[in-house]
Amino acid sequence: MGDDIQLDDDCIFCKIIRGEIPSFKVFEDDASLAFMDINPAAPGHCLVIPKHHAENIFVTPPHASAAAMATISKVAPAVERAVQPGGINIVQANGPAAAQSVFHTHFHIIPRHLDDNLLMNWGLNPGDMDEIGAVAEKIKAELD
| Secondary structure in 3-state letters for the chain | CCCCCCCCCCCHHHHHHHCCCCCCEEEECCCEEEEECCCCCCCCCEEEEECCCCCCCCCCCHHHHHHHHHHHHHHHHHHHHHHCCCEEEEECCCCHHHCCCCCCCCEEEEEECCCCCCCCCCCCCCCCHHHHHHHHHHHHHHHC
Domain enclosing residue 98, as ranges: 12-143
Q: Does the pLDDT value for residue 123 go beyond 80? A: no
CATH code of the domain containing 84: 3.30.428.10
Determine, yes or no, domain membership for 102. yes
Determine, yes or no, domain membership for 5. no
Determine, yes or no, domain membership for 6. no
- Predicted confidence at residue 6, as pLDDT, reads 83
Catalytic residue at 108? no
How many structural domains comprise the chain?
1
Q: Does the pLDDT value for residue 81 go beyond 70? A: yes
52, 106, 108, 113: the catalytic one is 106
Q: Does the pLDDT value for residue 126 go beyond 90? A: no
> pTM for the full model?
0.89
Determine, yes or no, domain membership for 133. yes
- Predicted confidence at residue 119, as pLDDT, reads 82
- Predicted confidence at residue 20, as pLDDT, reads 96
Confidence of residue 127 (pLDDT cuts 50, 70, 90): confident
Rounded to the nearest integer, the mean pLDDT of the chain is: 92
Determine, yes or no, domain membership for 110. yes
Compute the average pLDDT of residues 98-127: 88
Determine, yes or no, domain membership for 1. no
Determine, yes or no, domain membership for 4. no
Q: Does the pLDDT value for residue 2 go beyond 80? A: no
Determine, yes or no, domain membership for 3. no
Confidence of residue 16 (pLDDT cuts 50, 70, 90): very high
- Predicted confidence at residue 136, as pLDDT, reads 83
- Predicted confidence at residue 122, as pLDDT, reads 67
Q: Does the pLDDT value for residue 111 go beyond 90? A: yes
